[in-house]
């Protein structure tokens, strides 16, 4: 199921980025509904459930080759805007 988790994270990230800025996954919950034994192909769909000011909640559903739901995933994705990053400049003198 590690491949299913990676698939869901990737597809959810694209859904979140389609609303504007992209960002890293903060947390997620994956619910396994059926085993993947015998499944040859996984398909994933995702949608933005809540488009907040700082965090987007994204739902991803993974289907097997027979169309049955394999798992349901909910991700919290941080909205990383260029405006916010420009305010958070790192002082290179403090790093060395």
Would you state the pLDDT for residue 92? 42
Strands (E), the chain: 25-32, 43-51, 55-63, 69-78
The answer, as to whether pTM is greater than 0.85, is: no
Sole residue written with tokens 């994270």: 9
Among 42, 36, 19, 16, residue whose Cα is nearest residue 28:
16
Q: How confident is the model at residue 73 (pLDDT cuts 50, 70, 90)?
A: very high
**Per-residue pLDDT at 60 exceeds 70:** yes
What number is the average pLDDT over the span 16-44?
88
Does residue 89 have a pLDDT over 80? no
């Amino acid at each position: 199921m590690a491949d299913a988790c990676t698939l869901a994270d990737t597809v959810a990230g694209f859904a979140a980025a389609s609303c504007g800025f992209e960002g890293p996954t903060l947390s997620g919950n994956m619910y396994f509904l059926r085993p993947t034994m015998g499944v040859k192909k996984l398909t994933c769909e995702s949608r933005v459930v809540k488009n907040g000011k700082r965090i987007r909640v994204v739902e991803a559903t993974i289907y097997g080759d027979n169309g049955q739901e394999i798992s349901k995933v909910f991700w919290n994705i941080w909205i990383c805007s260029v405006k916010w990053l420009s305010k958070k400049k790192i002082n290179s003198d403090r790093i060395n």
